Amino acid sequence: METHSYFPVPPGVGMEENFLSLDDILLSHERLPSRTECTFPRLGFLEKSSDSRDIQEGTKMEMPLFLAKGLYERKRRVVSVELPKVYKEGWRTVFNADPTVVDLHKMGPYYYGLGSQLLHFDSPENPEIAQAVLQVSTAHKHLYPLISLSHCSLHYPPLAGSSGVINFGC
């Protein structure tokens, strides 16, 4: 019987967030490439590459998802968010060819969650991003039984059941 020091809370689904979920908290700290659309007075200390006292309009910087969502407004442009490289057209082409060959964990541990959160920002590529995330999700879902079985075979010795069928102890 497993015991946890905390009660695991599942992450939010789609564009919804669950602030009690550790996965959602970590997801909200994923950094997004962004550009300021106005001057931020007396916040220059946040931009390490500049000695200026202010963050100037047009400054490119990375900011956490929670801050980008808070500063992003459709009516008044304060900040614009650029797509991370794994969601750009080049990677979507790779995913269209064969989504199972890409190690998503290396590309970012929150590929699905961050992809759905990117839909908050107005981008002409939103339909393609949603399609790519869905396509990769369904392709990887078909591989899950094989991955699970290979994981079990590495960690548990095969057990012969009474029927002679090999059981990996999973």
**Closest Cα to residue 98, out of 145, 135, 127?**
135
**Closest Cα to residue 88, out of 144, 35, 128, 43?**
128
In a domain, 117, yes or no: yes
In a domain, 5, yes or no: no
Binning pLDDT at 50, 70 and 90, where does residue 6 land? low
CATH number for the domain harbouring residue 144: 1.20.58.2050
In a domain, 67, yes or no: yes
In a domain, 58, yes or no: yes
In a domain, 14, yes or no: no
% residues pLDDT > 70 (the chain): 72
User: Domain of 58?
Assistant: 22-152
In a domain, 2, yes or no: no
Query: What is the SS3 assignment for 134?
Result: helix
- Please give the sequence-ordered ranges of beta strands (E in DSSP) within 21-104, or none if there are none: 31-36, 60-64, 79-81
Q: Total domain count for the chain? A: 1
> In this predicted model, what pLDDT tens digit does every residue of 9-58 receive, in sequence order?
666 656 667 777 888 888 899 999 999 999 999 988 888 888 889 999 99
pTM reported for the whole predicted model: 0.71
Residue 66 has pLDDT above 80, yes or no: yes
In a domain, 144, yes or no: yes
The pLDDT, as a whole number, for residue 124 is 92
In a domain, 99, yes or no: yes
